[in-house]
Amino acid sequence: MTALLHLIEPAGWRAALDAGAVRPPSLAEAGFVHLSEPEQVHLPAGRLFPGRRDLVLLVVDPRRLADPVRLEPGVPGDPEAMRFPHLYGPLPTAAVLAVVPYLPPAAPVLPSPGDALGRALAHTLSLRTRRAAEVRDVPGGVAVLDPDFPHSRDDNRLLLSEPVDAATVEETAATIAAEAGLPHRAATLRWPGAGAVARELAAHGWEVEEVVVMARTAQPPPAGPRAVQVAQREVHGLWRRSWRTVLAGSPDLEEVVDQLVGREFRNDRVVAVHDLAVTEEGRPVAAGQLRIDGATAVVDSVLTDPAARGRGHADAVLAAALDGAAAAGCDLVVLEAAADDWPRSWYARRGFAEVGSVWEVGTRQAGATQDSSR
């Protein structure tokens, strides 16, 4: 059986991540969870959520379901001969391969279980659209916007999954930036072979960075030091010190740092976030973030204070993240690393393999005096 789909509101999915399973009202009322095959999902979407474009599709691997799935008639109004898959039991979150934005009329891209790159790309697109204050359709994809964090390129950028030329990227990014009052233009080029467009933009003065997507199984490493989970506010000081170093000399430095630290709480509104830290003398000196989104786990924001490097703290953070991913039932752990920076090799030595790449491109708006950051 191919992948099955369940349409859900983001808040419902976030609650399910804490509970470990999706239990919609139909489970209590009719004894099953409504699922759809890819060619059917538009029917329940139009009936239950007409006009909605803030929903997500859970891509379910039927091999991970313990309870039976039966093909049965739909509701009045559905094609008479059509049969829908009904899951006679709760839908475990660990059976969800990917969480994909449902943005009709665009057809959703549904990764298969073994498609590590597809699952990673689905996560980054879905996370950014779920937490965005606004999502706009643009040529080649969408623009995500959040006026509360204008300095954050990660939250105010184009996410382009279909090929477009450099002129289209420039024109669209400039239009979105001008309309939103952003101090920058930014885009992620997500399609295969996007490097050619990125290099053309570089020739036009854009900052260009290839970001490598890496993946490995969620199998925990051997016994050894482990970071511990902490409240996110406990690592704010470490984040602030790191951002001040990275952005040293930038205009409005503290305002920018405030936004880059302040934005992070929103991730936990849409995925299950675990902040991990190693402390020395009561102060976090290394930290990282584990994000659980069904069967896919993401490692992000691993950093160590310069004075505390060389003591194995990053390994302790990564080990705790892999432990957490395995405990949550994830089979895949993904992360992103700059193609030209040393962490790429560090992760490779710890079992992460490169599965593809995307290109981050951006530039400040003409006349802007404020710096922005990814």
**352: pLDDT confidence band, cut at 50, 70 and 90?**
very high
290: number of CA atoms within 13 Å, CB side? Answer: 30
Nearby residues of 91 by Cβ (< 8 Å), 6 or more positions away: 6, 16, 21, 22, 23, 33, 35, 58, 60, 65
| pLDDT tens digit sequence for 160-209 | 999 999 999 999 999 999 999 999 999 999 999 999 999 999 999 999 99
Cβ contact 289:334 at 8 Å: no
Q: How far apart (Å, rounded) are the C-alpha atoms in residues 214 and 301?
A: 14
Report the pLDDT averaged over residues 359-367: 77
Range of the domain at 34: 4-112
101: buried, middle or exposed (CB in 10 Å: 19+, 13-18, 0-12)? Answer: buried
| pTM more than 0.85 | yes
Structure tokens at 348: 């490779």
Mean pLDDT value across the chain: 93
Residue 64 has pLDDT above 70, yes or no: yes
The dihedral built from the CA positions of residue 48, 52, 58 and 59, taken in this order, carries a sign that is positive
Residue 160 lies in a domain: yes
- DSSP, residue by residue, 295-341: TEEEEEEEEE-GGGTTSSHHHHHHHHHHHHHHHTT-SEEEEEEETTS
Structural domain count, the chain: 3
**373: pLDDT confidence band, cut at 50, 70 and 90?**
very low
Report the pLDDT averaged over residues 59-63: 96
* The pLDDT of residue 81: 79
Q: How far apart (Å, rounded) are the C-alpha atoms in residues 129 and 134?
A: 8
Residue 335 lies in a domain: no
Q: Are 195 and 135 part of one and the same domain?
A: yes
| pLDDT tens digit sequence for 112-160 | 999 999 999 999 999 999 999 999 999 999 999 999 999 999 999 999 9
The dihedral built from the CA positions of residue 246, 248, 249 and 252, taken in this order, carries a sign that is positive
Query: Which of 112, 139, 162 delimits the end of a domain?
Result: 112
Helix, strand, coil content of the chain in percent (nearest 5): 35, 30, 35
Q: Could you give the C-alpha distances from 129 to 23, 126, 157, 185, 353, in angstroms and in order?
A: 24, 5, 11, 18, 27
Residue 256 has pLDDT above 70, yes or no: yes
Q: Are 139 and 79 part of one and the same domain?
A: no
Q: How far apart (Å, rounded) are the C-alpha atoms in residues 222 and 198?
A: 40
Residue 29 has pLDDT above 90, yes or no: yes
Q: Are 53 and 143 part of one and the same domain?
A: no
Residue 297 has pLDDT above 60, yes or no: yes
Q: Which residue has the tokens 């705790």?
A: 320
Query: Which of 112, 140, 157 delimits the end of a domain?
Result: 112
Q: Are 206 and 223 part of one and the same domain?
A: no
Report the pLDDT averaged over residues 320-327: 97
Q: Are 206 and 253 part of one and the same domain?
A: no
Query: Which of 112, 144, 168 delimits the end of a domain?
Result: 112
Residue 155 lies in a domain: yes
Q: Are 176 and 278 part of one and the same domain?
A: no
Q: Are 101 and 121 part of one and the same domain?
A: no
| pLDDT tens digit sequence for 239-254 | 999 999 999 988 889 9
Residue 367 has pLDDT above 80, yes or no: no
131: number of CA atoms within 13 Å, CB side? Answer: 20
Residue 80 lies in a domain: yes
Q: Are 225 and 267 part of one and the same domain?
A: yes
Residue 366 has pLDDT above 50, yes or no: no
| pLDDT tens digit sequence for 220-237 | 999 999 999 999 999 999
- DSSP, residue by residue, 261-295: HHGGGGGGGTSEEEEEEEEETTEEEEEEEEEEETT
CB neighbours (10 Å) of residue 200? Answer: 17
